[in-house]
Amino acid sequence: MPSPVADVVDPSMQTVSPTDALSQLWTVLGQPADVLSRATLAGTEPALPSSFAVGTLAQSTIAAAALAAAQVDTLRSGRQQTVSVDMQHATLEFRSERYFRVDGQLPPEPWDKIAGLYRCGDGRWVRLHTNFAHHRDGVLKLLGCAYDRAAVAAALNQWNTEAFEEAAAQAGMVVTAARTFEEWDAHPQGIAVASQPLMTIERIGDAPPQPLAAHADGRPLSGVRVLDLTRVIAGPVCGRTLAAHGADVLLVTGPHLPAIPPLVIDTGRGKRSAQLDLRDAAGAAQLRTLLRDADIFVQGYRPGGVAALQFGPEQVAALRPGIVYVSLCAYGYEGPWANRRGFDSLVQTASGFNWAEAQAAGEAKPRPLPAQALDHGAGYLMAAGAMTALARRMTEGGSWHVRVSLAQTAHWLRSFGRMANGVDAADPRYEEIGAYLETSPSGFGALTALRHAGQLSDTPPHWTLPSVPLGTHPARW
C-alpha cells in the first residue's frame, strides 16, 4: 500500500520546463543545438488534471518531431522553417482518441468490460488489459471464471498479486501489479530502466548517403515511403505524424491480428491500409518486395516477434541497405521484463504512476494519468527518432535502428518533477476544443478530429488521405 497523502514525494513545483525538456530530448537525438532557437513553445502547466507534467511531455515530444521534420526539410531544400507548438493543443492531441467523432457521434467504448483494476487476496491491486480477445480469454482461463467483472473479482481474491502477475506473464497475458515508485525503483526491471537512455539511434549497417531529391509537393517527407507495422496507439501515432509531414505511409496488418476499431479510425489518418499474413510465404515475400523501396520501417510487435518472422532490424537492413528501422517495446530493452508484453496503462501501473497520482488526489485506489501519455509520448519520440535517422542517412549514409519504450518514456516524465495541486486543473471537454478540430470525409463517415499540434511555418502539417478500414488497399506502393 502507498504511504499516506501527507507523505507524498515532495509535492514541489515542476522542476523541468517545456524548453528544458525539448533541449534534453534534442541532445538525446544528437541534433544541432542552434536549431532549438527556431522553436516557439506557448502555454503553461498544468494542462490536465495531474500532478505530473503531462503537458510538458506532450509539448516537448511533438516539438521535437516537428523540429526533426524541419531539419530534414533544411537538408532537402535549404529552408529553415520555424516551429511552434501550443501546450493546450499538444495536450489535447495526447488524448486524440477521446475527442474524435464520426458523423457527430461518439466512437464505441474501446475498453473491454473486465479490463481494469481489481484487488487480490493479499489486499494489493492488479490491472488487467483484456481489450484483445486472446488476452481476455487467456486471463479467464487462468482464473477459471466467467466473463463477468464480479466473477473475475471473486477469482482474483484467491490469488496473491505478484503470483498472478507472474502466472499471467508466463501465459503470455498482459497483467501487472500496482506498485509505488519505491517498489518500482527496487524492482529489477525498474533498476534496468533507470540505467537506460531515453531512446537510442544506432547505426546497424552500411549504405551510401541517400539525399532526398526535390519533390513537387514540397513538404519535408514528400516521397519518403514508410511501412507501418504497428497497432493500438504509440506506433500508429508515429506513422500518423510522418504522414502529416508528407510521407507515403502504408499500414500493414495481418488479417488474423486483433485491432481496436476506434483507434484505427483516429490513428489511420494519412495512411493507406493493407493486410499481409507474414506467417505465410507469399505474405512475407510481398513485404520483402515492399521493403526494397521503403525508407522507414516501424514495428511494435512484442520483443522478438518480428525477428521470428525474419524481419528483425539486422534482417531488414540486409534486405534494404539504408533503411531506418524503428522499434517500440513496453518495458525497455534490458532487464528481466525486456521481452514482456505490455500497454501504456500497465506500464503506468507497474512503474508507480498510478499510486503517486492517487496520493496526490487523496484517493485510496490507484489513479491513472489523465491521458495515455506514455503511448503518445513514445509515438512522437519514435517519429522524431525516425526523422533524425533519416537526416543522418541523407548526410552520412548507413542503416539505422531507433529504439523507444513506454517504460523509458515514463522514467523521463517522472524526471520532470511534480506539480502541487496539479490534480485540481480543469479537464478539457469536447465542447471547449472546437478551435483545434477539423472535419473531413473518411472511410467511416464524416470524421471530426484534432489537427496536428506541431506547426511548421512554411509547410503546415496535414493529412491528404482519410482514415479507412483495415485492408482497404492492396499491399503495394
Grouping H, G, I as helix, E, B as strand and the rest as coil, residue 218 is: coil
Block residue for cell numbers 548507413 = 398
Q: What pLDDT is recorded for position 8? A: 42
Per-residue pLDDT at 107: 87
pLDDT of the residue at 9: 43
pLDDT of residue 2: 43
- The string of pLDDT tens digits covering residues 255-288 is 998 888 999 999 999 999 999 999 999 999 999 9
Asked whether the predicted pLDDT for residue 4 surpasses 70, the reply is no
Q: What is the pLDDT of residue 67?
A: 98
Quote the mean pLDDT of the chain: 94
Tell me, what's the pLDDT at 239?
Answer: 98
**Residues 96-152 pLDDT 10s:** 999 999 999 998 888 889 999 999 999 999 999 988 888 999 999 999 999 999 999
How much is the pLDDT for 148?
A: 94
- At residue 5, the pLDDT reads 33
CA-nearest of 309, 278, 283, 362 to 51 is 362
Pick the CATH number of 18-109+192-335+368-456 from 1.10.760.10, 3.40.50.1820, 3.40.50.10540, 3.40.50.10490: 3.40.50.10540
Q: Is residue 10's pLDDT more than 80? A: no
Q: For 105-162, what is the HEC assignment?
A: ECCCCCCCCCCEEEECCCCCEEEECCCCHHHHHHHHHHHCCCCCHHHHHHHHCCCCHH
Q: List 402's β-bridge partners, or say none.
A: 201, 326
**Taking 70 as the threshold, does the pLDDT of residue 12 lie above it?**
no
Q: Is 99 helix (H, G, I), strand (E, B) or coil?
A: helix
pLDDT tens-digit series, residues 279-302: 999 999 999 999 999 999 999 987
Q: Of the candidates 429, 450, 446, 428, which has an alpha carbon nearest to the alpha carbon of residue 438?
A: 450
Q: Would you say residue 237 has pLDDT above 50? A: yes
Q: Phi and psi at residue 33, in whole multiples of 5°?
A: -65, -30
Which cell is 126 given? 492488479
Over pLDDT 70: what percentage of the chain?
97
* pLDDT score of 7: 35
Write down the pLDDT at residue 307: 87
- Strand, coil or helix: what is 81? coil
Q: How far apart are CA 452 and CA 241, in angstroms?
A: 8
**What confidence score (pLDDT) does residue 6 get?**
31
Give the global pTM. 0.96
User: E strands within 291-436?
Assistant: 296-299, 324-329, 399-405
Chain centroid to Cα 55, Å, comes to 15
pLDDT confidence band for 453 (50 / 70 / 90): very high
| Domain regions of the chain by residue span | 18-109+192-335+368-456
pLDDT digits (tens, 9 = 90+) for 383-439: 999 999 999 999 999 999 999 999 999 999 999 999 999 999 999 999 999 999 999
Has residue 1 got a pLDDT over 70? no
